Amino acid sequence: MWIATLRPFHSSYAALVLLVVSVFTQASPPGVAKRQQCQSSLDVAVSVAKRLQSNYFNSITGEYNGGAHWTDANAIESIHNLMLATGTDDFSSLGDNSYLGRTANLQAETGISLWASLLNGSYDDASWIILALWKIADYKRARGLDDSAYLASANTVYGIVQSAWDTSVCGGGVWWSNAKDYKNSITNELFLLVSATGAINFPDNAAFLTNANNNSQLRNSQGLYNDGLVTSTCANNGQTTWIYNQGVIASGLGALYAVTKDSSLLDEAEITLDAAISLLTDNNILRESCDDAASGGATCNNDQQAFKVTHLQYYLDRVNDPARTAKYSNFLHAQASGVLHFGTDSSNDIGSVWYAEFSGNLFSASSSSSGLAAHIANAKYGPCTSL
């Protein structure tokens, strides 16, 4: 069952309006649209992906050394995005060999689902995993392979997230975890994204819509999304405006626009995108609050190193508007340039700092996959000029 999503915001504050969509799925979603790619950027991305796989991927566990389930899912999703962009099969075994593929194929072959145990009550991780499962299915379908195990597992995981929907606190929303003590931006933004994407992918299934208002005030006066709510008051907690919170809401609103054709959703998305570009960058390159280029300065933890993975590419995919693409093209190029010149070391690993020389960089699978996503987005929507 696919249950949806966030609607536009009240003009004076961020109101989350959730469209509840029930869709039973068996058929495969439509194929991925083709678009001319910048070959030089793809070449850089392929070299980064090869290093990511050779240096970090553990073929025994199907996971990335030092990673987490959600950051691993992002890496797997990015590499399948890359293969769809290049039309090649350099990493064709990754899906089935990954922990995602092993769990999905086990369920398909035996009926045994390990998803609830694997997720351990983490509902934001669950949605990242849904996105990766769908991306593997996209790749398999594009190559004429059976994608049913991945679609079935995505459906199973979606049901787990759906079970976290709650109306008793703050008027609605998905809990961050099964502790049921926090409603945060990323979990609900991801729920918007996977739900709207489900509605796009499976348009021929019966659905019904029910509106439920949640005046959550997650977006602040600057246009940025803070981390979450104060559970006792439902007020914005004023905590960190992580970069991924700004990107995921945009991609979710873009997906919802693709379903509804309500252009006001795009205006709302770009309030946040433009605020992020203005306020969360250094010399037009994304910078987390925990980033510091100086050796011995502040550092981001392993999760935070992945936060710059931008969903701007997915937003532009759904909008399909040359004018809006042109608006963000140079910004995407700047990220790829920063990744290459400031974030990449001599071994082709990508670090956590993109905005300046990398003496303060931390290198991990998370930071490398985040940089890989920047190169892939630039290949698709950047100006295809020298980095």
In this structure, what DSSP letter does residue 339 have?
I
**Position with higher pLDDT, 299 vs 106:** 106
pLDDT range class, residue 217, cuts 50, 70, 90? low
Does position 228 have pLDDT exceeding 70, yes or no? yes
| Domains, in order of start, for the chain | 6-381 (1.50.10.20)
Each residue of 29-72: pLDDT tens digit?
Answer: 444 455 689 999 999 999 999 999 999 999 999 999 999 999 99
1: which strand partners? none
- The whole-number pLDDT of residue 309 equals 62
Each residue of 306-355: pLDDT tens digit?
Answer: 777 668 999 999 999 999 999 999 999 999 999 999 999 999 999 999 99
Each residue of 366-385: pLDDT tens digit?
Answer: 999 999 999 999 999 999 99
- The whole-number pLDDT of residue 360 equals 67
Q: Which residues contact 57 (CB under 8 A, 6 or more apart)?
A: 63, 64, 65, 94, 365
The C-alpha atoms of residue 306 and residue 368 are separated, in whole angstroms, by 8
If one counts every other C-beta atom within 10 angstroms of the C-beta of residue 385, the result is 11
Q: What share of the chain has pLDDT > 70, as a percent?
A: 85
- The whole-number pLDDT of residue 19 equals 40
Cα 221 to chain centroid distance, Å, stands at 24
| Residue 97 and residue 91 in contact, taking contact as beta carbons nearer than 8 Å | no
| Residue 15 and residue 216 in contact, taking contact as beta carbons nearer than 8 Å | yes
| Residue 101 and residue 95 in contact, taking contact as beta carbons nearer than 8 Å | yes
Each residue of 355-371: pLDDT tens digit?
Answer: 998 676 789 999 999 99
Each residue of 69-104: pLDDT tens digit?
Answer: 999 999 999 999 999 999 999 999 999 999 999 999
